[in-house]
Amino acid sequence: MKITVQEEITQIKMGRPHVVILGAGASYAAFPNGDKYGKKLPLMNNFIQVLGLEKLLAEALTEFKTNNFEEIYDQLHKDSKYDSVRAELEKIIYTYFRDMDIPDQPTIYDHLLLSLRGKDVVATFNWDPFLIQAYRRNRAMFLLPRLIFLHGNVMVGVCEKCKVTGVNGNICSKCRTPLQPTKLLYPIGQKNYHLDGFISNQWKELQYFLKEAFMITVFGYGAPISDVSAVQLMKEAWGGVEKREMEQTEIIDVRGEADLQVTWDKFIHTHHYEVHSNFYGSWIANHPRRTGEAYISQYWEAQFINNNPLPKDLSFPRLWEWLSPLKENEDKATLQTHNQEAAPTPLD
């Protein structure tokens, strides 16, 4: 049998989450020319140069004999004589990312969020504000996935007392005090996520959703050696691959397939994985808001499926219009479920 695009649009079958994990490569792919005003996004291998930190770190660069930003920050954290340098460094980094602004036209991050549903999750390691900015300009039109911030974010604020999270600078909904910025930098030698209340809760959320996921998509995250503890936390939640014989792992990355397979081997059951060099070749972009339904049709019911590729060049009004049939069917399914739950129980 073959599932048509129209049949895929009308299906609402999957209740389990699709979990997407974003690394720096995802933001770089989404914003190769920088932000709205051309401000560049750094990667770890050019972080010092892009942010112009050479002068501030001149002594450290000479003493530690490395140009790797994470290694330098780790060394700064170990030596109290660098406390003032570290404080200035953290201020510069926070300000640099805080002042970035998303371009006006739809970006990959807009397409990513619009291609997932409320049951799904996007967990990011990135500090930049683009994911939240994309979320805020689309949330009135569609129910979007849950966002999780694994290394903090410049747009996320928290009230530790009330355990309330929101947009940085807003007021806590409970105690009415300003939300405080989340921590961004962690020395690679001691990424003790459990010591920070906000970060600890973010990781607990990710682990919960990973346990329930039918598919994980890793987008632009290379699982560097410096993040060994992060990968271990994800692996604990995903469990042994022998118990994931029906789940699928998708990787969006410019690296070679053999390299990626080695990196993510502990998350892959035999041949149950896909590798794409760009977002628009992914399962998400080719089955927007129906990744789970397409997954069921192809992998559980052994049916042939057609792609329904998200048009990547439409402006916002036309993009929302293109997606509206998907939303209409989601709304119908929600209403039907509500009516069934509200229906009186027949007497015996």
The domain spans of the chain are 2-37+101-151+186-305, 47-98
Q: What is the pLDDT of residues 126-166, one digit of tens each?
A: 999 999 999 999 999 999 999 999 989 999 999 988 989 99
Q: Quick one: pLDDT at residue 345?
A: 42
Q: What is the pLDDT of residues 27-62, one digit of tens each?
A: 999 999 999 999 999 987 889 999 999 999 988 888
| Residue bearing the bigger pLDDT, 233 or 111 | 111
Q: For residue 164, what are the β-bridge partners?
A: 159
Of 70, 61, 66, the closest CA to residue 43 belongs to: 70
CB 116 within 8 A of CB 131: no
Q: Which helix (H) or strand (E) holds 220?
A: none
Section 86-97 average pLDDT: 93
Helices (H), 239-315: 257-263, 283-286, 291-295
Q: Quick one: pLDDT at residue 169?
A: 86
Counting Cβ atoms within 10 Å, is residue 174 exposed (0-12), middle (13-18) or buried (19+)? exposed
Q: What is the pLDDT of residues 206-226, one digit of tens each?
A: 999 988 998 899 998 876 656
Q: For residue 22, what are the β-bridge partners?
A: 124, 219
For the domain made up of 2-37+101-151+186-305, the CATH class stated in words is alpha beta
| Cα separation, 323 vs 289, whole angstroms | 9
% of the chain with per-residue pLDDT over 70: 87
What is the value of pTM for the model shown?
A: 0.90
| Cα separation, 335 vs 341, whole angstroms | 10
Q: Which helix (H) or strand (E) holds 235?
A: helix 228-238
| Residue bearing the bigger pLDDT, 112 or 248 | 112
Buried b (16+ CB within 10 A) or exposed e, 91-125: eebbebbbebebbeebbbbbbbbbbbbebbbbbbb
Q: What is the pLDDT of residues 262-279, one digit of tens each?
A: 766 776 655 667 888 999
| Strands of the 164-167 sheet, one edge to the other | 164-167, 156-159, 180-181
